[in-house]
Amino acid sequence: MFASRALSKNGPASYGYATFGFLDVRFVDVVAVLRNGKTYTNRTLVILDSDKKWYVHPLPSSSPLLSAGLNEEPASVKSFKDVYKIKR
């Protein structure tokens, strides 16, 4: 799993704040290793809601203004563990 990143376009975060009261809109690239050894990357839209909890948007394509530019972002390079301290 990679570290979350802000979308390059300013629109989605502004739209999320103005319309829904979201505090942040970001995305995370999650890589899964398949049974055949190949990998699959899933780009996941995540939202920081007003309760200060992160949520996954289940279908970003259903909200084009919130997910504008999501699939045009370059591939992630920073690993989650290299950016965030994991509480145990």
pLDDT confidence band for 81 (50 / 70 / 90): confident
Convert the pLDDT of each residue in 22-73 to its tens digit. 999 999 999 999 999 999 999 999 999 999 999 999 999 999 999 999 999 9
pTM for this prediction = 0.85
Q: Which of 60, 75, 79, 71 is nearest to 16 (CA)?
A: 60
